[in-house]
Amino acid sequence: MEQGFAKETKPLPDLGLVSRGRSDLLPLEERQLLAAIRESGQDRGQDRMEERPNAPASGSETGPGLGSNAGIVREVVRCRNCGLCRGVRRALDLALGLAGAGWNVFTDGELVHNPGVLRDLAGRGVRVWDGEERSWGPRDCILIRAHGIGPERRAFLLRLGCPLFDGTCPEVARVAGKIRRGKFHGRGLLLFGDGEHPETRGLMAHGGENLRVVRDSSDLDRLGDFTERQPFLLLAQTTADEGEFAELGRDLLQRFPASQIDDTICASTRIRRAELDQLLQNCPFDAVVVLGGLHSANTLRLAAAARAAGLWTLHAEDAAALAETVPFSAMRVLLASGTSTPEEVVDAAERALRGHFSCPGPGGDSAFPEARAQD
Catalytic residues: 199
Q: How far is CA 363 from CA 75, 91, 314, 359, in A?
A: 19, 47, 20, 10
Neighbours of 150 (CB within 10 A): 17
Q: Tell me the residue length of the chain.
A: 375
Distance in angstroms (rounded) separating the CA atoms of residues 108 and 207: 21
Q: Are 290 and 314 in contact (CB under 8 A)?
A: yes
User: Judging by beta carbons within 10 Å of its beta carbon (0-12, 13-18, 19+), is residue 55 exposed, middle or buried?
Assistant: exposed
- Strands 104-108, 188-192: pairing kind: unpaired
Distance in angstroms (rounded) separating the CA atoms of residues 248 and 234: 9
Distance in angstroms (rounded) separating the CA atoms of residues 371 and 184: 47
User: Judging by beta carbons within 10 Å of its beta carbon (0-12, 13-18, 19+), is residue 113 exposed, middle or buried?
Assistant: buried
